[in-house]
Amino acid sequence: MTTPFKSPDIDEKAIRLEKPDDLVMALAHAKAEAIKRKLQDKCLSNKEVEGEPTLLITSDQVMVNRGMIREKPLNEQEAREFIKGYSGNFAVAVGYVLVTNLKTGVQKGEWDKPEIHFHEIPDEVIERVIKVREITNVAGGFRMEHPLAAPYVKEVVGAMDSVMGLPRELTKRLLEEALEDTST
């Protein structure tokens, strides 16, 4: 079994929806369609089409804080604003996982919404955090498992892997459902 990874190479900023649930679902579907086109362009062999099913997993995630959708910050100023908003508050990591069975065309998708509650984050910590690109280059601009950020996470309501972008239990269930469903 191989697990190739392909970038969908889509312009995520071209897809704008007001509701976070709608946005992450639309992005996951757009990624799936883009990758399916890439695979078709490479002319999948009949063996691949007729053999074992190929499953495609796409997902997207945004953070929601104080009613605002927070994607990857565009710059340090935006990262600073995002993190200040989390300080002493909470955010919801709104994610959507989509599994596509490329053999049958069946798609199974679902949202996942863990909450992250934060302690107060001092301004000097925020300034140190925004200088570390690996912390801020994620949805919401705050990689909470990083040693610099972790002490300011008070509580996670939901699974940690959900916050990190791909909920294992949900993904496993969707994979099973996509294999079991023979309808098209």
Q: List residues with catalytic annotation.
A: 60
Residue 88: CB partners within 8 Å, gap ≥ 6? 118, 119, 120, 121
Contact yes or no for 118/153 (Cβ under 8 A): yes
Collapsing DSSP to helix, strand or coil, 65 comes out as strand
Token code pair at residue 125: 């910590």
Spatial separation of the C-alpha atoms in residues 28 and 169, rounded to whole Å: 18
Residue 95: CB partners within 8 Å, gap ≥ 6? 24, 59, 60, 61, 111, 112, 113, 162, 165, 166, 167
Spatial separation of the C-alpha atoms in residues 158 and 5, rounded to whole Å: 27
